[in-house]
Amino acid sequence: MQARAALRQPQECRLRDGTPVVVRPIGPEDKERLQRGLRELSGRSRYHRFLASVKELSAEQLRYLTEIDCVDHMAWIALDPALPAEPGVGVGRYIRLAQEPHVAEAALTVAERYQGRGAGALLLDLLSRCAVVEGISTFRAHILQSNVAALRLVWHVGGTVTREDGNLLRLDVPVRPCPRLVGAAPP
């Protein structure tokens, strides 16, 4: 129990270029932040995240994405302390699959200006630390084959890629912390 609580404490981390970020579990107070973050994301990133041209989240979707149990559904939000009024750096999330409880669907979203600076790897690392103690051994994601950034990230952590329909790929990533991908991971 204590280990679980310790894993969910806010973390002070750095991106690969040294930019400080604060990462904490997402909460009900983040609804507006999430909505704005989505609005400010490029059409391409939004399509890569949702595999559809989602521009707004409904009240029900915002509730689902922010009011989480941190056990079967975990999400970290990364914030830039230098820009407190901005929506933030990104969000990493996993949701356990009911039919395969050792597998969780995972999704990462990093705001345009922070992409390619290690935020995706950082969020994946923090998600992995939580998932391990919840008995989750695989993260699964469905992506377009044009999503080079996600493919590179998976390549780094040793995941497998399976072609599904047309341009759709299934990623299966073994759950393990990946601090070597992160500039300055928490201890």
Ligand X SMILES: CC(C)(COP(=O)(O)OP(=O)(O)OC[C@H]1O[C@@H](n2cnc3c(N)ncnc32)[C@H](O)[C@@H]1OP(=O)(O)O)[C@@H](O)C(=O)NCCC(=O)NCCS
Q: Which two tokens stand for residue 136?
A: 């989750």
Our CB check for ligand X shows the closer of 6 and 37 to be 37
Identify whether the C-beta of residue 75 lies closer than 8 Å to the C-beta of residue 123: no
The site for ligand X, by CB under 6 A, has a size of: 23
Contact string 151-180 vs ligand X (x = CB under 6 A): -xx--x------------------------
Our CB check for ligand X shows the closer of 5 and 38 to be 38
Q: What part of residues 26-85 is at the interface with ligand X (CB under 6 A)?
A: 45, 48-49
Residues 6+ apart with CB under 8 A from 124: 92, 106, 108, 139, 153, 157, 173, 178, 181
d(CA 146, CA 94): 22
The window from 23-31, 54-62, 102-110, 128-136 that contacts ligand X (CB under 6 A) reads 102-110
Our CB check for ligand X shows the closer of 14 and 156 to be 156
Among 70, 149, 161, 184, binds ligand X (CB under 6 A): 149
